[in-house]
Amino acid sequence: MKTTQFVIIGLGRFGSSIGRELIELGNEVLGVDRDEEKVQELSTVLTHTVIADATEEEVLRSIGARNFDCGVVAIGDDIQASILATILLKELGVKKVVAKAVSELHGRVLERIGVDRVIYPERDMGIRVAHQLVSPNLLDYIELSKQYTIAELAVPACLTGKSLAEVNPRGRFGCSVVAINKLKGIVIAPTADDVLAEKDVMVVIGTNDQIEEFQESIG
Ligand code: ATP
Ligand code: ATP
Ligand code: CA
């Protein structure tokens, strides 16, 4: 993957977590926070850190914000600061700006001012956890559209030792197993003869209803 240059505004729990991971993934990250302590904590982790108020245009200009590929505005509680920092990054010409919203209204404002992606970390994680709580086999999922989902399902005891032909997900529910993640490695596009084992994870694609029915049959 090629190195991308990121600027992160706000080094609270959300911003610092994004920053650490981006570094792990081999990118360059400039972290900005007005709180000296937050900056101190990350000064040895991120590529560069700056103590500054990101609502001041001159500040963002002087750190060369316009040269970054992507900006992340990770300010939550101070909605005014979040909006100002977002507008400034957009106006300075940062190609892609992603911002965290603490409420639906905050998110709508961010969208109006041209943010490329709004993230609602608490709301989205809450929804995800609720899905996992009601379906213990569901490890994770991606919504492809309103109707279609890719889900990671843990193989329960009742399916271990069975082949896909025996389990028959496509015949019974209409959903397909696109991969089986095994301890030894991943089997892509498994066929009818592939056998499920304990600790395997199935990656299943289908409509929400098909996947739900499959899950219920094995839950
Ligand atoms: P988290 O939940 O990620 O910990 P939060 O949603 O509670 O954060 P805040 O604590 O309001 O959000 O902000 C995150 C960080 O953004 C804080 O470290 C804060 O110092 C910083 N911050 C807030 N306003 C500004 C600003 N104008 N310029 C730079 N940094 C700012
Ligand atoms: P189909 O009519 O569904 O295409 P088929 O007659 O070609 O199946 P096989 O490909 O041998 O027969 O598969 C037999 C059954 O095994 C299928 O009906 C399906 O339910 C199940 N199966 C095989 N591969 C998968 C898969 N990747 N995901 C879900 N089910 C599968
Ligand atoms: Ca918070």
- Name residues whose C-beta falls within 8 Å of residue 170's C-beta, 6 or more positions apart in sequence: 176
Residue 193 Cα to ligand 2 middle (Å): 9
pLDDT, tens digit, 9 for 90 and up, residues 100-113: 999 999 999 999 99
- Domains of the chain are 5-120 (3.40.50.720), 135-218 (3.30.70.1450)
CA 7 from centre of chain? 18
pTM (two decimals)? 0.79
Beta bridge partners of 9: 32, 73
5 in Cβ contact with 67 (< 8 Å): yes
CA distance 210 to 107: 32
- Ligand 1 neighbours (beta carbon < 6 A): 9-15, 32-35, 38, 53-55, 74-78, 81
Joined together, the tokens standing for residue 216 give 């219920």
Percent over 90 (pLDDT), the chain: 93
Q: How many CB atoms lie within 10 A of CB 154?
A: 17
Q: Ligand 2, closest atom to CA 175?
A: 29
According to the model, what pLDDT value does residue 56 have? 97
Q: Which residue has the tokens 């892609």?
A: 96
Q: Ligand 2, closest atom to CA 190?
A: 27
Q: How many CB atoms lie within 10 A of CB 143?
A: 11
pLDDT, tens digit, 9 for 90 and up, residues 130-166: 988 888 899 999 999 999 999 999 999 999 999 999 9
Q: Ligand 2, closest atom to CA 172?
A: 20
Q: What mean pLDDT is reported for the chain?
A: 95
71 in Cβ contact with 88 (< 8 Å): no
Q: Ligand 2, closest atom to CA 177?
A: 28
User: Does ipTM exceed 0.95?
Assistant: no
Question: What is the DSSP track for 122-189?
Answer: HHHHHHHHHHHHH-TTEEEEEESSSSEEEEEEEPPGGGTT-BHHHH-HHHHHS-EEEEEEETTEEEES
Statement: residue 90 has pLDDT above 90 = yes
Joined together, the tokens standing for residue 209 give 């209803």
Residue 94 Cα to ligand 2 middle (Å): 48
Ligand 2 pocket mutation, candidates 153, 168, 170, criterion most atoms within 8 A of CB = 170
Statement: residue 175 has pLDDT above 80 = yes
